[in-house]
Structure 1
Amino acid sequence: MSSISKVMAAVSTSITDFKANPNAVLEQSNGEAVAVLKSNQPSFYAVPPELFESMVDAVEDLALLMEANARLNDGQEAVSVSLDDL
């Protein structure tokens, strides 16, 4: 029975090509994540620094949103303040 894996990237390369010149692979990806395949299965994903930074920012934003929602729903009465008071 063959194994099927979902590839979570529009760009992929073999691990052999990636090992030969990882910088060239990332440059050719035009800023997208690259699925590095071993035996036609994803082994790992390589991402350029700019994409990684945006991913980290998105995770941090999500964590802040979850914290804000938890505070809004904590059952305590809201306190009104003006921007001038801050």
Structure 2
Amino acid sequence: MSHVSRMMAGVSASITDFKANPNAVLQQSGGEAVAVLKSNEPCFYAVPPELFEMMSEAVENLALLAQARERLNDGKEPIEVNIDDL
């Protein structure tokens, strides 16, 4: 039975091509993540700095959203605040 891996990127490159010129592979990706393949299986993902920053901000925003939801559901009465008063 063959093994099928899920690839989490629309762009891929062999590890040989990536090792030969990683900057060229990332430039050709058009800002997308690149699945680097070994024996036709993803072994790691290379992510351009701009995309990594966006991903990090998204994770941080999700954590803040979870914290806000937790505070809203803590049983305490919410306090209305006008942003202009701060």
The bucket for the TM-score relative to the shorter chain is over 0.9
**Residue 49 of structure 2 aligns with which residue?**
49
Identity rate of aligned residues, in percent?
Answer: 72
**Normalised by the size of structure 2, how large is the TM-score?**
0.95
| 5+ long unaligned stretches in structure 2 | none
Q: 1:45-67 CA distances to partner (integer Å, 9 max, x unpaired)?
A: 00000000000000000000000
1:42 maps to amino acid: P
**Normalised by the size of structure 1, how large is the TM-score?**
0.95
- Say whether residues 1:16 and 2:16 are aligned partners: yes
| 5+ long unaligned stretches in structure 1 | none
> How many pairs are equivalent?
86
* Structure 1 residue 83, shift from structure 2 partner: 2.5
**Residue 39 of structure 1 aligns with which residue?**
39
- Say whether residues 1:62 and 2:70 are aligned partners: no
